Amino acid sequence: MIWVKYIILVLLWTCCNSQNVCEEPPEVDFGEMVSDEKVAYQKSDRVQYRCYPGYALEGPDWITCEGPQWTSPPKCLASCSITRQQLEAKNLLLSGGRRRSHVIGNNQTLEFLCREGYILSAPSVRKCIDGNMDLPSCISERGKKCSRPPSVANGDTITLSQKEYTSGSSVEFRCQRYYAMEGHSRSFCDNGNWTKVPVCLEPCVISLAELERRKMGVKLRSNEDEFQTLYLPHGDSVEFNCKPGHSLATNLSQSAFEIQCRGGPIVYPECKAIKCDPPRLANGTFRPERTVYQDGDLIKIECDHRVQTAETQTIAECTRNGWSPPPQCNAGGNCGHPPSIQNGDVLNPLQAQYAPGTTLQYKCQFLYVMNGNSQVRCENGHWTEAPTCIDATCTISEVDMAQNNIQLKWTNDKKLYSESGDAVEFICKWHYRKDPSSPPFRTQCIEGKVTYPRCI
């Protein structure tokens, strides 16, 4: 039976285009795949996931092979646990006036109250986000009074000022124009002390004169007019672009980029003029001849006698990606003996010389699968890249499992031989635990080799 699987595997690898094949489905933390595993996954294949108990699925439970990538896998997110002791320590009650331990699922909300004599210093409704919930604070109404609240740089209070404030009272702040608030807008008097006041974060300043000097422009929002100076609030983003004929010095193929304000001066990338050097053209000449070419400049290519340009193109343009198409005059030529490959053979009769355009077919020997295109082609006196033949089987070593204190995950899985591409899962033996530096416990047979995880 195992030989039949090998034959199927070889046929799958040789007949299927790699663009229509996906790798093993991605792993999901705190979840598992419930669909049966396959030797190879083709375009339109689907697999299903489920989460471990206590975790909620976020996203679709099915993903699809779209060749060669999978659609985005789901996430398994933890629920939140709130104990009676936590509620008591913060003088909190659940809605309805109860105080008891509670478990709430991911992305669900819970409303809190304060016990008598205390008031909430923050919104009463909180949300569970992947096992984390920030509990509100309750402030005593019977504590010491507070003096005037601290001032906030680049901000103002919008509450009527008083000489002193009773415990539990609050003041509200706002930031000046273009400044962004970090923290709660309200500060509470808590037994003689004010809770943390917000911070007003500095905006970024964008100067039109500086943009002109740097050969850059900025994409304005629909509600913004032409400007000499633009103020960008902290955390906001703005899209810049290099002027025509220029591109990013760090990435010549890119001319637009986005920058997020982190306060203060903006660090601009450099926009560089697009230039092309004169092409190095064997077997031909070009016109006009210059020491340097600008974006959009054209040259005419003239090849020597009995030599033709690639794809019959005679005009090339200077672009941000260099000359397009690349100027070249290729002389045709025969190819010699095709490249030999380990564990594989050429199916066609061998010759001393092959004419341009000739294609040859390779096949892998038994128990090996092909990686790459099964054909090579004679082009300009050279063969295109030949495929490789990789080992189709892996042997799961009981000695290696014993040395790493692991065993196969499924107790009924006695299979010690796996085909290339198969997934293999291990677990720690009894009384052993995962080594923090261990490779993943779900591994794959790749070119006859398996990477073993480790338990200590």
State pLDDT tens for residues 59-113. 999 999 997 889 999 999 999 999 999 999 999 999 878 888 889 989 899 999 9
Does residue 60 have a cis bond before it (omega within 30 degrees)? no
- Could you tell me the pLDDT band of residue 444, with boundaries at 50, 70 and 90? confident
Q: 413: pLDDT confidence band, cut at 50, 70 and 90?
A: low
Q: For residue range 279-299, what is the model confidence (pLDDT) as tens digits?
A: 988 778 899 999 999 999 999
* pLDDT at residue number 310: 45
pTM of the model: 0.47
Q: Give me the mean pLDDT over the 254-279 stretch.
A: 82
- The pLDDT of residue 33 is 92
Kindly report, residue by residue over 156-203, the tens digit of the pLDDT: 999 888 999 999 899 999 999 989 999 989 999 999 999 999 999 999
> How does pLDDT run across 115-165, given as a tens digit for each residue?
988 988 877 899 999 999 989 889 988 889 999 999 999 999 998 889 999
Region at 412 (left for phi over 0; alpha for psi -120 to 50; beta for the rest) = alpha
Average pLDDT for 47-56: 91
How far apart are alpha carbons 126 and 111 in whole angstroms? 6
Question: Which of the pair, 392 or 180, is modelled with greater confidence?
Answer: 180
CA distance 92 to 113: 6
Q: What mean pLDDT, rounded, does the chain reach?
A: 84
What single letter denotes the amino acid at residue 388?
T
Return the residue matching tokens 């478990």: 103
Provide the token pair at 338. Answer: 């095709």
Confidence of residue 7 (pLDDT cuts 50, 70, 90): very low
**Residue 352 amino acid letter:** A
Please tell me the least confidently modeled range out of 169-173, 331-335, 366-370.
331-335
Q: Which residues contact 239 (CB under 8 A, 6 or more apart)?
A: 218, 219, 256, 257, 258
For the chain, first and last CA: distance in Å? 37
Nearest to 238 by CA among 271, 275, 211: 211
According to the model, what pLDDT value does residue 391 have? 78
Q: Given a cut of 60, is residue 321 above it in pLDDT? A: yes
C-alpha dist (Å) from residue 330 to 6, 87, 259, 277, 348? 44, 79, 44, 20, 27
Q: What is the mean pLDDT of residues 326-340?
A: 78
* Among the listed residues 367, 455, 385, the one whose alpha carbon sits nearest the alpha carbon of residue 2: 367
What local confidence, expressed as pLDDT, does residue 414 receive?
A: 58
What domains, with CATH codes, occur in the chain? 2-78 (2.10.70.10), 80-140 (2.10.70.10), 155-201 (2.10.70.10), 205-273 (2.10.70.10), 275-330 (2.10.70.10), 344-391 (2.10.70.10), 393-444 (2.10.70.10)
Residue with tokens 């092979």: 65
User: SS3 letters for the chain?
Assistant: CHHHHHHHHHHHHHHCCHHHEECCCCCCCCEEECCCCCCCEECCCEEEEEECCCEEEECCCEEEECCCCECCCCEEEECEEECHHHHHHCCEEECCCECCCEEECCCCEEEEEECCCEEECCCCEEECECCECCCCCEEECCCCCECCCCCCCCEEECCCCCCCECCCCEEEEEECCCCEEECCCEEEEECCEECCCCEEECCEEEEHHHHHHCCEEEECCCCCCCCCEEEECCCCEEEEEECCCEEECCCCCCCEEEEECCCCCCCCCCEEECEECCCCCCCEEEECCCCCEECCCEEEEEECCCCEEHHHCCEEEEECCEEECCCCEECCCCECCCCCCCCEEECCCCCCCECCCCEEEEEECCCEEEECCCEEEEECCEECCCCEEEECEEECCHHHHHHCCEEECCCCCCCCEEECCCEEEEEECCCCCECCCCCCCEEECECCECCCCCEC
Q: What does the pLDDT average to over 48-65? A: 92
Rounded to the nearest 5 degrees, what angle is found at the Cα of 419, between the Cα atoms of 68 and 13? 45
Say if residue 416's pLDDT is above 80. no
Question: Is-contact 68 16, C-beta < 8 A?
Answer: no
Q: Which residues contact residue 225 at a Cβ distance below 8 angstroms, ignoring those fewer than 6 apart? A: none
